[in-house]
Amino acid sequence: MDLKDIKAIIDLMRKNSICEFELEKEGFKIRLKRGPNGSNAGAQADEQVGANAGIGQFPPSQPVQPMVQPPRPSQPPEIEIKSPMIGTFYRAPSPEAEPYVDVGSEVNPDTVVCIIEAMKVMNEIRAEVHGVVTQVLVENGKPVEFGQPLFKIRPTE
Protein backbone atom coordinates (compact mmCIF):
# COMPACT_ATOMS: atom_id res chain seq x y z
CA MET A 1 0.00 0.00 0.00
CA ASP A 2 1.42 3.38 -0.92
CA LEU A 3 0.39 6.98 -0.37
CA LYS A 4 -1.80 6.94 -3.49
CA ASP A 5 -3.85 4.03 -2.09
CA ILE A 6 -4.26 5.81 1.22
CA LYS A 7 -5.39 8.97 -0.51
CA ALA A 8 -7.97 6.93 -2.41
CA ILE A 9 -9.25 5.47 0.85
CA ILE A 10 -9.53 8.95 2.37
CA ASP A 11 -11.46 10.12 -0.66
CA LEU A 12 -13.82 7.15 -0.38
CA MET A 13 -14.30 7.84 3.33
CA ARG A 14 -15.16 11.44 2.63
CA LYS A 15 -17.52 10.56 -0.18
CA ASN A 16 -19.39 7.95 1.88
CA SER A 17 -19.29 9.81 5.21
CA ILE A 18 -17.21 7.11 6.87
CA CYS A 19 -15.62 8.37 10.09
CA GLU A 20 -13.19 5.61 10.84
CA PHE A 21 -11.24 3.08 8.83
CA GLU A 22 -8.91 0.41 10.09
CA LEU A 23 -6.95 -2.22 8.21
CA GLU A 24 -4.60 -4.75 9.68
CA LYS A 25 -2.56 -7.43 8.02
CA GLU A 26 0.68 -9.14 8.78
CA GLY A 27 3.19 -6.53 9.80
CA PHE A 28 1.00 -3.67 8.72
CA LYS A 29 -1.66 -1.60 10.36
CA ILE A 30 -3.41 1.54 9.26
CA ARG A 31 -6.08 3.54 11.03
CA LEU A 32 -7.76 6.57 9.53
CA LYS A 33 -10.12 8.84 11.37
CA ARG A 34 -11.95 11.96 10.31
CA GLY A 35 -14.33 14.54 11.81
CA PRO A 36 -17.79 13.29 12.66
CA ASN A 37 -19.63 15.48 10.19
CA GLY A 38 -19.17 14.87 6.51
CA SER A 39 -20.56 18.26 5.56
CA ASN A 40 -17.95 20.35 7.31
CA ALA A 41 -15.15 17.90 6.69
CA GLY A 42 -12.75 19.73 4.38
CA ALA A 43 -9.45 20.82 5.75
CA GLN A 44 -10.28 19.95 9.32
CA ALA A 45 -10.96 16.34 8.46
CA ASP A 46 -7.80 16.17 6.46
CA GLU A 47 -5.84 17.53 9.39
CA GLN A 48 -7.40 14.95 11.64
CA VAL A 49 -6.54 12.22 9.25
CA GLY A 50 -2.99 13.44 9.27
CA ALA A 51 -2.82 13.64 13.02
CA ASN A 52 -4.40 10.36 13.87
CA ALA A 53 -3.36 8.11 11.09
CA GLY A 54 -0.72 5.62 11.92
CA ILE A 55 0.57 5.63 8.42
CA GLY A 56 3.61 3.62 7.84
CA GLN A 57 5.19 0.27 7.43
CA PHE A 58 6.39 -1.59 10.46
CA PRO A 59 9.41 -3.82 10.08
CA PRO A 60 8.31 -7.46 10.26
CA SER A 61 10.19 -8.04 13.53
CA GLN A 62 8.35 -5.31 15.40
CA PRO A 63 5.24 -6.63 17.11
CA VAL A 64 2.03 -5.00 16.24
CA GLN A 65 0.97 -2.65 19.01
CA PRO A 66 -2.12 -3.71 20.87
CA MET A 67 -5.10 -1.69 19.89
CA VAL A 68 -6.64 0.65 22.41
CA GLN A 69 -10.15 -0.41 21.51
CA PRO A 70 -11.26 -3.79 20.26
CA PRO A 71 -12.69 -3.67 16.76
CA ARG A 72 -16.45 -3.29 16.80
CA PRO A 73 -18.98 -3.21 14.02
CA SER A 74 -20.01 0.30 13.09
CA GLN A 75 -23.36 0.96 14.81
CA PRO A 76 -26.09 2.75 12.92
CA PRO A 77 -27.53 5.73 14.79
CA GLU A 78 -30.58 5.22 17.00
CA ILE A 79 -33.99 5.92 15.55
CA GLU A 80 -36.77 7.77 17.34
CA ILE A 81 -40.37 6.64 17.03
CA LYS A 82 -42.44 9.80 17.05
CA SER A 83 -46.10 10.40 17.76
CA PRO A 84 -48.11 10.97 14.58
CA MET A 85 -50.79 12.84 16.51
CA ILE A 86 -51.70 14.81 19.61
CA GLY A 87 -53.17 12.37 22.08
CA THR A 88 -52.66 10.16 25.08
CA PHE A 89 -49.86 7.61 25.23
CA TYR A 90 -50.61 4.06 26.35
CA ARG A 91 -47.91 1.44 26.72
CA ALA A 92 -50.30 -1.53 27.00
CA PRO A 93 -53.52 -2.65 25.30
CA SER A 94 -55.35 -2.49 28.65
CA PRO A 95 -54.51 -1.28 32.17
CA GLU A 96 -53.94 -4.85 33.42
CA ALA A 97 -51.88 -5.98 30.45
CA GLU A 98 -48.11 -6.06 30.14
CA PRO A 99 -46.55 -3.23 28.14
CA TYR A 100 -46.23 -3.93 24.42
CA VAL A 101 -42.46 -3.37 24.64
CA ASP A 102 -39.83 -2.48 27.19
CA VAL A 103 -36.18 -1.48 27.09
CA GLY A 104 -34.38 -4.42 25.50
CA SER A 105 -37.40 -5.67 23.55
CA GLU A 106 -36.64 -6.75 20.02
CA VAL A 107 -38.97 -5.25 17.46
CA ASN A 108 -39.71 -5.73 13.80
CA PRO A 109 -41.52 -3.34 11.46
CA ASP A 110 -44.89 -4.82 12.40
CA THR A 111 -44.40 -4.81 16.18
CA VAL A 112 -46.93 -2.63 18.00
CA VAL A 113 -45.01 -0.48 20.50
CA CYS A 114 -47.80 1.62 21.97
CA ILE A 115 -51.23 3.15 21.41
CA ILE A 116 -51.89 6.84 20.95
CA GLU A 117 -55.50 7.75 21.69
CA ALA A 118 -57.08 10.90 20.39
CA MET A 119 -60.80 11.22 21.04
CA LYS A 120 -61.38 7.47 20.98
CA VAL A 121 -59.33 6.96 17.87
CA MET A 122 -56.92 4.25 18.95
CA ASN A 123 -53.75 4.40 16.88
CA GLU A 124 -51.51 1.38 17.25
CA ILE A 125 -48.00 2.63 16.59
CA ARG A 126 -45.67 0.15 14.92
CA ALA A 127 -41.89 0.09 15.12
CA GLU A 128 -41.47 0.19 11.31
CA VAL A 129 -37.87 -1.04 11.72
CA HIS A 130 -36.01 -4.09 12.94
CA GLY A 131 -34.20 -3.23 16.14
CA VAL A 132 -34.03 -3.15 19.90
CA VAL A 133 -35.80 -0.69 22.18
CA THR A 134 -33.17 1.33 24.05
CA GLN A 135 -35.36 3.97 25.71
CA VAL A 136 -39.02 4.56 26.56
CA LEU A 137 -39.38 8.31 26.58
CA VAL A 138 -42.96 8.86 27.78
CA GLU A 139 -44.86 7.63 30.82
CA ASN A 140 -48.03 5.60 30.43
CA GLY A 141 -51.19 7.72 30.28
CA LYS A 142 -49.37 10.99 29.58
CA PRO A 143 -50.41 13.45 26.87
CA VAL A 144 -48.12 13.65 23.85
CA GLU A 145 -47.66 16.25 21.16
CA PHE A 146 -47.45 15.75 17.41
CA GLY A 147 -43.94 14.64 16.53
CA GLN A 148 -42.91 14.02 20.14
CA PRO A 149 -40.35 11.18 20.42
CA LEU A 150 -41.83 8.14 22.19
CA PHE A 151 -39.13 5.48 21.94
CA LYS A 152 -35.54 5.11 20.88
CA ILE A 153 -34.71 2.08 18.81
CA ARG A 154 -31.28 0.79 17.88
CA PRO A 155 -31.82 -0.66 14.44
CA THR A 156 -30.40 -4.01 13.44
CA GLU A 157 -29.87 -5.13 9.89
Partner 1 sequence: MNLDAQILLVLRNLGGSAISAADLASQLGVGRSTIAAHIADLRRHGFDIPASPHGGYRLVGTPEYLNADDIVSRLGKPRVVGRDIRVFKETTSTNDVIEKLARDGVAEGVVAFAESQTLGRGRLGRRWFSPAGKGLWFSVLLRPKLTPQQTTQITVSASVALARAVETVTGLSPKIKWPNDLLVNGRKVAGILTELAAEQDVVRHVVVGIGIDVNIEPHRFPPELKQTATSLSIEAGHVIDRAELGARILRELDDVYSRIMRREFEAVAEEWETKCSTVGKLVVVTIGDRRVRGRAEALNSEGALLLRTEHGHLESITGGDVIVEK
Nearer to partner 1, 41 or 144 (CB): 144
With binding defined as CB under 8 A, does residue 79 bind partner 1? no
Please identify which residue in 18, 55, 118, 132 interacts with partner 1, judged by CB under 8 A.
Answer: 118
- Whether 157 contacts 133, CB under 8 Å: no
Please identify which residue in 46, 78, 80, 117 interacts with partner 1, judged by CB under 8 A.
Answer: 117
Stretch of 21-29, 30-38, 60-68, 87-95 lying at the interface with partner 1 (CB under 8 A)? 87-95
With binding defined as CB under 8 A, does residue 12 bind partner 1? no
Please identify which residue in 35, 38, 84, 99 interacts with partner 1, judged by CB under 8 A.
Answer: 84
Torsion of CA 50, 53, 56, 62, to 10 degrees: 150
Q: What is the secondary structure of 2-25 as a DSSP string?
A: -HHHHHHHHHHHHHTT--EEEEEE
Nearer to partner 1, 46 or 117 (CB): 117
With binding defined as CB under 8 A, does residue 86 bind partner 1? yes
Answer positive or negative: Cα dihedral of 65, 70, 76, 77. negative
Q: Alpha helix locations (H) across the chain?
A: 3-15, 42-52
First to last CA, the chain: 32
What is the DSSP-derived secondary structure letter of residue 73? Answer: P
For residue 101, the minimal CB distance to partner 1 (Å) is 17
Amino acid identity for residue 112 in this structure? V
Nearer to partner 1, 65 or 94 (CB): 94
With binding defined as CB under 8 A, does residue 95 bind partner 1? yes
For partner 1, the binding residues (CB under 8 A) are: 82, 84-88, 90, 93-97, 115, 117-124, 128, 139-143, 146
